């Protein structure tokens, strides 16, 4: 059964585009049915419409509380029979109420190798710490910020002369490949939640490594 996915964004939506493009493949086990932004000016909304996907803005500033904003969000998702949510640069913290309602059915992509560098400014903090590898993580969303069970990670080297921008660009390229892969694993049942951990079937290769410096 093809799952109906909603992508939640706040900005330019480059991860959203990579999910939309991946879902065009005939064998992709999910359909991108809706894009929602909490910011009416998010560039990703137009990009979604250009791809013929319904794109809605639900402006959090128009609501008096976090809860009432999330109730509107939840109602829009349910009206459209959404099965699964992908957060892609969605920059509003979600309350435990919303997260519990979508428990096990909501993924996020985060620009660091979790559990390192939760929160914001991940690339700057990686550079400050002097780590030699960095990357991105797709994980299930739980009430604690950036703390849910990990579905997939990609690693990049940090190289001399890197700035926040060069490192962010290197990580972003990996994000675009990783998120569709992780969504596919889940929708095909090859990655599933069991007892708060992700269990995999036929998804492994124990070969290869990334050493930095090489």
Give me the residues that bind ligand GAR (CB under 6 A), please: 9, 11-15, 88-89, 109-111, 172, 175
Instruction: State in angstroms the smallest separation of the CB of 105 from ligand GAR.
Output: 18
Instruction: State in angstroms the smallest separation of the CB of 91 from ligand GAR.
Output: 6
Using CB positions, name the residue nearest to ligand GAR. 89
100, with CB counted inside 10 A (0-12, 13-18, 19+), is exposed
Instruction: State in angstroms the smallest separation of the CB of 189 from ligand GAR.
Output: 25
78 or 121, CB closer to ligand GAR?
A: 121
CA atoms lying within 13 Å on the CB side of residue 155: 10
Residue of 110, 123, 134, 176 marked active site: 110
Binding site residue list for (6R)-10-formyltetrahydrofolate: 66, 108
Instruction: State in angstroms the smallest separation of the CB of 65 from ligand GAR.
Output: 22
H or E element in which residue 140 lies:
strand 133-140
110 is catalytic: yes
What's phi and psi for 9, nearest 5 deg? Answer: -130, 165
Q: How far is CA 160 from CA 131, 135, 164, 174, in A?
A: 11, 16, 12, 19
> Can you tell me the distance from the alpha carbon of 173 to that of 95, in angstroms, rounded to the nearest whole number?
30
12 or 197, CB closer to ligand GAR?
A: 12
- Among candidates 136, 135, 114, 123, which has minimal Cα distance to 162? 123
Binding site residue list: 13-15, 66, 108
75 or 91, CB closer to ligand GAR?
A: 91
Catalytic residues: 110
């Amino acid at each position: 059964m093809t799952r109906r996915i909603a992508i939640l964004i706040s900005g330019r939506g480059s991860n959203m585009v990579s999910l939309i493009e991946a879902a065009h493949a005939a064998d992709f086990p999910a359909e991108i049915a809706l894009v929602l932004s909490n910011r009416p000016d998010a560039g990703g909304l137009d990009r979604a419409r250009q791809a013929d996907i319904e794109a809605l803005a639900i402006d959090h500033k128009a609501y008096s509380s976090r809860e009432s904003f999330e109730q509107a969000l939840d109602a829009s998702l349910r009206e459209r029979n959404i099965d699964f949510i992908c957060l892609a640069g969605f920059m509003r913290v979600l309350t435990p109420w919303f997260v519990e309602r979508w428990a096990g059915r909501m993924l996020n992509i985060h620009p660091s190798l979790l559990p390192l560098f939760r929160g914001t400014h991940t690339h700057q903090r990686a550079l400050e710490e002097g780590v030699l590898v960095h990357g991105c993580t797709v994980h299930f969303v739980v009430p604690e910020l950036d703390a849910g069970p990990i579905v997939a990670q990609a690693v990049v080297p940090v190289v001399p002369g890197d700035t926040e921008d060069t490192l962010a660009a290197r990580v972003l390229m990996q994000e675009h490949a990783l998120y569709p892969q992780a969504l596919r694993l889940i929708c095909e049942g090859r990655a599933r939640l069991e007892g708060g951990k992700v269990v995999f079937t036929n998804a492994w290769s124990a070969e290869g490594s990334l050493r930095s410096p090489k």
